[in-house]
Amino acid sequence: MTTHLQQELEVLKENVLTMVSEVKQSLQKVCKAFALLDADLAQEVIESDQDINESEVKIDEQALRLLALEGPVARDLRFILGCMRIAVDLERIGDECANIAEATIMLSCKPVLGFYERIQVMGEKSARMLDLAVSSFFQPNADLAIDVCKMDYEIDELNSQITKYIIQYMTEETPAIERSVQAINITRRFERIADLATNIAESAVFVDKGINIKHYCQFDNR
């Protein structure tokens, strides 16, 4: 027999999945907007951020109500807490997408710089990390979550390489300084999205295994 708590948990899950869909769409759009320097598409991302914010509030209120009224324990409790955690991370990803969109609008009226393609790769990899992190949470699958954490190393390295390249480029091409600064801004925000995807993966481990690895999801992959 399905209990009232189980029914409520299913509703919570569906609400989080709705928010996931909103954030994924925002990230996909902003990656495309940057690739095409499409100001109109970037503006859509900015306007959709309010919906993401409202989804976070809805999930937070529902989770708090369940904690107060249903007395969940063990895995159910971890799932509710995990949903609250990832809603925060998803909202922050939405904010980063909006910030990238704003920078894209600034770049859209100026000629493309050759290194933009490298930043596009970072965006694609960050989006892939988010996909896998969300999958690891809802399965839940701690092993997949650990793989996501390891992927963050690659994004960090790309961020470092691209930023160093752009800084060097600015010293040689001073007319492109303004565009280069915005490009570094976008690069760092894609890196931040990868960090937030890692947070979601950490929450997946918490739900699956009851282990809190927050801030300790680090591995020596040399």
Q: Please report, in tens digits, the pLDDT of each residue of the chain (222 residues total).
A: 469 899 999 999 999 999 999 999 999 999 999 999 999 999 999 999 999 999 999 999 999 999 999 999 999 999 999 999 999 999 999 999 999 999 999 999 999 999 999 999 999 999 999 999 999 999 999 999 999 999 999 999 999 999 999 999 999 988 999 999 999 999 999 999 999 999 999 999 999 999 888 766 654 443
Rounded to an integer, what is the distance from CA 182 to the centroid of its chain?
A: 20
Give the dihedral of Cα atoms 39, 40, 45, 51; nearest 10 deg. Answer: 150
Q: In residues, how long is the chain?
A: 222
Q: What is the pLDDT of residue 216?
A: 63
Cα 16–18–23 angle (5° rounding)? 95
Residue in this structure with the two tokens 């919906």, named with its chain if needed: 51
Tell me, what's the pLDDT at 212?
82
Distance CA 103, CA 202 (A): 30
Q: What b/e sequence results for 122-138 when a residue is b if at least 16 CB atoms lie within 10 Å of its CB, and e otherwise?
A: bbebbbebbebbbbbbb
Domains delineated in the chain:
4-209 (1.20.58.220)
d(CA 15, CA 11): 6
